[in-house]
Chains A and B, each alone.
Chain A
Amino acid sequence: MSMDNIDMAAYRKRPFLVRARPYFIILPALLLTIGILYPFLTAIYYSLTSLNLQRPGAMRFVWFQNWIRMLREEAFWHAVRVTLQYALTATFIELALGLGLGLAICRRDNWFARLLKVSLVFPLMIAPVVAVIIWQLMTSNTIGILEKLLNLFGVYKFRWASSADTAMFTAIMIDVWVYTPFILILVIAGINSLPKSPFEAARVDGASEWFTFKNLTLPMLKPFLYIALIFRLMAAMQEYGIIWALTRGGPGDTLLNLSVTTYIRGFTQYRFGQMIPYVLTLWVIVYIVSQILVRKWLKVQKTAGGR
């Protein structure tokens, strides 16, 4: 919060109604969203009870039983591992691909490049559930085009999401398909915003492409990459739509991340008191990671801006 640029004496002298005006204007927006977010606080309370929706009358206050139980459960640590593995792998691949494609596309300005920039964003707009349907049509062993393609290479009945060995790969592939365009358009916007003169200077000095990339392009793109990283990582850690639609967390427990585990405990088994610690843990992880990344972003932005 910065009050430095406000003349405090003049600020206090203004009549109350003028001073309060901004708060009044924002109030409806806050009421609408906080009205929804109030449950957040009650959730913390519920995590200390034995709430079960099938027997709401039998709710008792059980202190930290749910939390201790969770920490002792192998399923919890498995869910944490799956969450991190999914989020980190998908985000890393998307960042690398988005950066590479952005660099490859931005040098071109013909009709094809323009068409690409417009159409490559389509997967990003599509609902995760629909993306999963589309990839089921692609990977089906009976009608899928990928089966026919793999047959050419002598691979038959590749099992994609239905095998524990390849389910994670399939889910991440769909995630990459949907979300790489997000990184890509941020990278393109970043490259377009770069100043021209340092690059011309580098060219005059005969710098190699790799040298220019490492010492000029990448550092100046960093703020954009951080934004992309923040948005992607936070969403990927909470990914639910793709996994639920694809395998409902299966086969077995292969894809049971924290979000899906929460859903299953809460909404198919109705054990609310037990499931809330799971999702609260998820929220704490997401919150901490986001704080660290946002701070880094602010710092990087300053450096890249030359201030």
Chain B
Amino acid sequence: MRESWIGGLFRNSVLALWTLFALFPLLWMVLLSFKSDAEMFNTTFVFTPTLDNYRFVLLHTDYFRCFLDNLIVSGGAVVLSVLVGVPAAYALARFKFKGKEDLAFTILSFKFAPEMLVVLPLLIIYNRIGLYDTYIGLIWVYQLITMPLLIWVLRGYFEDIPEEVEQAAQLDGYQWHHIFMKILLPLIRPGLVAAALLSFIFAWNSFTFSLLLAGIRIIPVTVEALRYIGTDTVRYGQMAVAATVTALPEVILALLIQKHLVRGLSFGAVKG
């Protein structure tokens, strides 16, 4: 379709403006992370880059340990969700049984339950059974973030595989779990990896659960990052490092899964 040059100019400037708004803050963050405190106030773009901020935050604070904490909790949550959720997604896609849609929607509704409502009574229970401030406790509660996403997205991927594929394998005498492991899993692998990585990102970003159910021994990095905000001893360079270090893994993961992003973010409702 041809467009008038005025329309084209207008569209291009809108896009350029948005790009500036969307991406410049990230650039600014990275820039400041290399700026020394001495140059923070009197330079804008031209300054002598230094690694001091990184050295301080990563070596002289607990930030790196918090980074690992987040990795363990989010990674653990995703692994557990995959182990339990993949078969469930398959069952919801293939088997015909009573209450199927109700079950599927029950699982989806967990995603929309207010975190605060879940966390409160959980705090009491976790204290009683000793799960407060433990990896297992956090990994368990993170299932509310990772599981609905995985099950709903993967259900769609399973449904995309024609039933004939399975029937052919059945005729060849394969048991259903063989079919599942040897034929279906390889077919959905790209979708599975993408959904797992996306749920990892969500788990990584969440901080309500870990703010309230941990925070003494286990401090995920998003909670730790709170400390860099609005304190009186403002160290902008260190703030920028904290933000950069936390955001970096996510930007990399986002690049890896961009093809599946639409489908994952819409819980399978939109097949991008």
Contacts and interface: CB of A to CB of B under 8 A. Distances in A.
Interface of A: 1-3, 5-6, 11, 19, 21-23, 25-26, 28-30, 32-33, 35-37, 39-40, 42-43, 46, 53, 56, 97, 100-101, 104-105, 107, 116-130, 132-138, 140, 142-143, 145, 148, 177, 180-182, 185-186, 188-190, 192, 199, 203, 209, 224, 227, 231, 234, 238, 240-241, 245, 259, 262-263, 266-267, 272, 275-276, 279-280, 282-283, 286-287, 290
Contact of B91 (A22, A238, A241): A22
Interface of B: 1, 3, 7, 11-12, 14-15, 18-19, 21-26, 28-29, 32, 40-41, 44, 80, 84-85, 87-88, 90-92, 95-103, 106-107, 110, 112-118, 120-122, 124-125, 140-141, 143-144, 147-148, 151, 201, 204-205, 207-208, 212, 222-223, 225-226, 228-230, 234, 236, 239-240, 242-243, 246-247, 250-251, 253-255, 258, 261-262, 265-266, 269-272
A199 B228 CA distance: 52
A3 B247 CA distance: 46
Chain B interface main SS type? helix
A185 B259 CA distance: 11
Contact of B207 (A129, A138, A143): A129
Given A29-B151, A100-B14, A120-B19, A23 B97 contact: yes
User: Which of A29, A180, A181, A227 has the largest count of B CB atoms less than 10 A from its CB?
Assistant: A29
B90 to A, nearest CB: 7
Contacts of A209: 3, 7
B107 A133 contact: no
Contacts of B41: 142-143
B120 A39 contact: yes
B225 A127 contact: yes
Nearest to B15: A104
B44 A280 contact: no
A40 B101 CA distance: 22
Contacts of A117: 258
Contacts of B40: 143
B138 to A, nearest CB: 11
Going nearest first, the 3 A-B pairs with the smallest beta carbon separation are A39-B121, A22-B95, A127-B205
Contacts of B271: 189
Contacts of B15: 101, 104-105, 116
B14 A101 contact: yes
Nearest to B243: A133
B98 A1 contact: yes
Contacts of B147: 29, 32-33
Given A26-B91, A185-B262, A283 B243 contact: no
